[in-house]
A and B are shown apart, each in its own frame.
Chain A
Amino acid sequence: MSKNKSVLLVEDESLIVELYKERFSEEKFDLIVAKSGPEALKKANGEIDLILLDVLLPGLNGFDVLRKLKKDPDTRDVPVIILTNLGSEHSDNDKRLALSLGAIDYLVKSYHTPDEMVEVIKQRLYPEG
């Protein structure tokens, strides 16, 4: 069997990081955590299968991180989901901006339980089921 898929969670709020770690540890994929914008850019590479990216981050905000990821040929093709507590999923300036910058989705953290997040990640990592 090939090596585990890996997910980069960019999140500065340790309470949230701990919550997701708790649940994601039950799954097969590896979780890498970055707690700031610059750290996210350092840890992101072509080997990553999915990036969950917060917007309000120390150092560099999520949108700027997203711009840089999409410019770098190494990380350009890594799918990025914006996972934030800003705005709304239905229609929002932030959502529009995120999608225009190349994010594949815009999710509001408080709308989704860890279980649901696992579902979102699994759908992305193993689309064939």
Chain B
Amino acid sequence: MSKTTRFSRLPVIPSWERLLTRFYTISEATPANLATYFGLLGALSSNRYSILQQIGRLATTLPKITGLEVVGIFQLCLENTNCLAANISPNRIEMLMSQAVFKRELKEVTIRKRLSGLVGTRGKKSLRHIVIEPLGRYLDLPVVLVGLSSRAIPQEEAKFTELVAQIIRLRFGHQHLDQKLTEHKNQFQTLVQHLSEGMIILNNDLRVSLWNRPMEKITGCGVKDVVGKPFEEAILCLNKNALLESLNQAIATKGADQFGIIVEVVARKDTKLWLRLTGSILRQRDGKVERVIIIAHDVSKEKLLEQKKNEFISIATHEFRTPLTVIRGYLSLLDRGEKKLDERQRRYLRRVTEASDRLVNLTEDLLQVAQIDQDRLEIKNQTFDLFRVLKKICHDFKAKANQKGVSLTIARPTFSTFVSLDPVRCEQIFSNLVDNALKYTLRGSVKIFFEEVTHPNQRQTSLIVHIKDTGIGIAKESLEEIFEKFRRTHKIEEIREQGAGLGLFIVKSFVERQQGTIDVRSRHGQGTTFSITFPLANLGARARTRNSDV
């Protein structure tokens, strides 16, 4: 039929205005009717009612404003139909629906196929005409509107029925989307709220938009108190500046999408705790921040344990130092009167001095490690000639090298070796490495030489100090571990001298705190080379000119 084809070309989701305009033009309804029509349309378009309420309203109102005598809305299951709403009693509508003709007609109705117009019927004689409009899906089953009339259904009424069906279809569509959305939302909420970690989401202006339950538990701050607040206000953090610096740096650095920091936080009842915050920055295409997702992990227990350990080390060091002062003190007094001692006594004195020296070094190393762990290591940069420092170290260790029959040499560089570093730390670094090299070299040599490396693209100059020995070397499998705490790679039977294995850990920490790197190459049985590189940032330009003035 021509009118059906005309309306099957409707846009998929027509706007309200278009629906109404179309209704105006096709409607031959009287102004009085129009008000009723619009009343229903308005009611259907309202979001105040649930979809099932709307269906009920439709089933009862449609017969009042059209010639349809029976209106039922059915959910089509596989075998039978389920009446969602009707303007007559459930019994009667069931009776109607049991008639073969409806069954046949309804079976053919799918969500896409619209059946309207006049359909000859049998059965109830007065209801000879039928209009069926698909309404979409409810709980994943197709729903149809069935209107029955004893007289021919006028075109205008068929159109109107089609129109309201379209509205309901839209609502079902929305409902479906809403359902999906709610489903995803719930899943997300469940996930977020049941995480074992705290989670914070910041929106693009770094205000808190999500603060999950574990976060409430950890900090004692309710979600209502923090959502919408700027991040730095929401989290009562003692090292706030460090936190903001870390966050802002990650935001400002192109391509950086991660940051991590451990912060001390004031939580409920003024208790303090430590949180490890790991953040991911989500960016828009133009690189601007869209969201920041932060996972917070309570590391208070670990921190407390670490603090206790370091406190213990600090106290232990102090307690060790006092008797050591006395032992060394008297040893030095004995040493002054060495001439009065016989050869054997002198030998004993030397041994005891050596042993006490080792104990002193061990104590100092332990204290250094505690300081490194507590991040209390201070670096005081000044400009100086690194070559001079190394020359002095060489001089200091000459006696030890001679005693072992190992040659210890330093090559004078042809370029400036002025750096802006902490001279005391540098002396500690290189003394340790030279001492180490001598310790593990039984014959041959320990050579110190410098290398200047200019990075072609960055116009950067780095200074590398190599300390190369012909010692016993380090086994390949041990190379990675030598910088760890309490590691010593060499087998005890191979070497007489021992230490606590803290030296290289301290060296590496000192180098890295001064923006340097340390590398090691070694062949078991053939020797080891340590190479320490300090980047340009620490190579003072001022020093260079000063050097060239000399």
Contacts and interface: CB of A to CB of B under 8 A. Distances in A.
A113 interface: yes
A91 B371 CA distance: 10
Interface string A93-110: 100000000000000111
A114 interface: yes
A85 B314 CA distance: 10
A90 interface: yes
Given A91-B378, A110-B360, A115 B322 contact: no
A122 B273 CA distance: 50
A114 B329 contact: yes
For this complex, into which size category does the number of interface residues on chain A fall?
Answer: 20 to 34
Contacts of B317: 85
A77 B333 CA distance: 33
6 contacts: A19-B330, A56-B318, A88-B367, A108-B321, A113-B328, A113-B329
A7 B549 CA distance: 46
A109 B322 contact: yes
A91 B380 contact: yes
Contacts of B186: none
B376 interface: yes
Contact of B325 (A56, A109, A115): A109
Interface string A69-94: 00000000000000001101011110
Given A23-B333, A88-B367, A115-B336, A93 B376 contact: yes
A19 B380 contact: no
A16 B336 contact: no
A91 B328 CA distance: 23
A13 interface: yes
Nearest to B371: A88
Contacts, number: 55
A71 B449 CA distance: 54
A19 B326 contact: yes
| B317, B329, B330, B376: most-surrounded residue (chain A CB, <10 A) | B329
Interface of B: 314, 317-318, 321-326, 328-330, 332-333, 336, 360, 363-364, 367, 371, 376, 378, 380, 424-425
B279 to A, nearest CB: 31
A22 B321 CA distance: 19
A91 B424 CA distance: 10
A13 B425 CA distance: 31
Contacts of A88: 364, 367, 371
B380 A110 contact: no
Contact of B329 (A19, A86, A92, A93): A19
Contacts of A86: 314, 318
Given A16-B326, A93-B376, A85 B333 contact: no
A86 B329 CA distance: 18
A15 B322 contact: yes
Contact of B318 (A22, A85, A90, A92): A85
B515 to A, nearest CB: 18
Given A90-B424, A93-B376, A15 B332 contact: no
